[in-house]
Amino acid sequence: MSEWPEMNVLVTGGGSGIGLGVARRLLVAGASVTIVGRSRDRLDEARGWLAGEGVSGRVHAVAADVSDEEQCAAAIATATAVTGRLNAVVACAGEPRGQMAPVTQLDLGQWRSVFDNNVVGSMLTMKHGTRELVRAGGGAFVAISSISAFLTARFAAPISAAKAAIEQLVRIAAHELGPSGVTVNAIRPGLVEVPRQDLPEQMKQDFLSIIPMHRLGAPRDIAGIVKFLLSPDADWVTGQVISVDGGQTLVRAFDASPWVEPVFGKDGMRGVV
């Protein structure tokens, strides 16, 4: 018997990585899941992979850029129409890192790209998605942040600031939407290893040296917490940000110096332009 036969969920960024792992976990539980992503080809690949996993029966796909309000609203309307009501939204879409540079040499275009893809996309998904949750009489919204929102990661200002903005948005929305029975939470993943990521070995080893569990994360590590936050067991959990990072926040942020110094030099790293 399906665990969640009546559950209808939207997952942005569902064509790959964490979003795809979340979609799989929810499909296994019996939910209807609409995955949203910019690339139709990537979504088709995701559906093929899910079919290979034997959990594709209730998955739907919508190609859309959630940082565009019209496309985002249309995707949410399509997802809602699957069952006539939307029960949960998981906002996974976002640019993973962006520019690594000293604050004195940040590129405005790249800064805006990171904020559009992370903050604007999450805000629009929240704006239109939680409307449907309120209409349904309640539900759950989960955003994906990053431990970089909490740790002081030198030379990673764009993604750190963007994820911190998402966390504050989550807290405010939780306060506003509680009376309507909508929970709003965020998850801070550590480094999650996904296909196509192609991590430099030095970067991987630095992460492994500071993670107490001494392994990188996998999409399943995040998906399990998402499932909990969407479940009745989390009905009284809202406005929270949960780190899922193998314990990295106990230690320190990733050291980007080996990649920044060759580009900007030692003086540039301390702000000299």
Q: pLDDT tens-digit profile of 215-247? A: 999 999 999 999 999 999 999 999 999 999 999
Q: Do residues 242 and 143 lie in contact, with contact meaning Cβ atoms separated by under 8 Å? A: no
Closest residue by Cα to residue 79 from 94, 68, 89, 70: 89
Cα-Cα-Cα-Cα dihedral sign, residues 140, 141, 143, 149 = negative
Average pLDDT, integer, range 9-33 = 96
The domain ranges of the chain are 8-269
Q: Do residues 186 and 166 lie in contact, with contact meaning Cβ atoms separated by under 8 Å? A: yes
The pLDDT of residue 132:
98
The pLDDT of residue 199:
79
- What distance in Å separates the CA atoms of residue 32 and residue 105, rounded to the nearest whole number? 45
Give, in words, the CATH class of 8-269.
alpha beta
The pLDDT of residue 36:
98
- What distance in Å separates the CA atoms of residue 160 and residue 254, rounded to the nearest whole number? 12
Residue 197: pLDDT above 80? Answer: no
In this prediction the pTM is: 0.96
Share of the chain above pLDDT 70, in %: 98
Reported residue count of the chain is 273
Phi-psi region of 65 (alpha: psi -120 to 50; beta: other; left: phi over 0): beta
The pLDDT of residue 201:
87
**Residue 257: strand, helix, or coil:** helix
The pLDDT of residue 98:
75
Per-residue pLDDT tens over the stretch 72-99: 999 999 999 999 999 999 999 987 677 8
Of residues 199 and 223, more confidence is placed in: 223
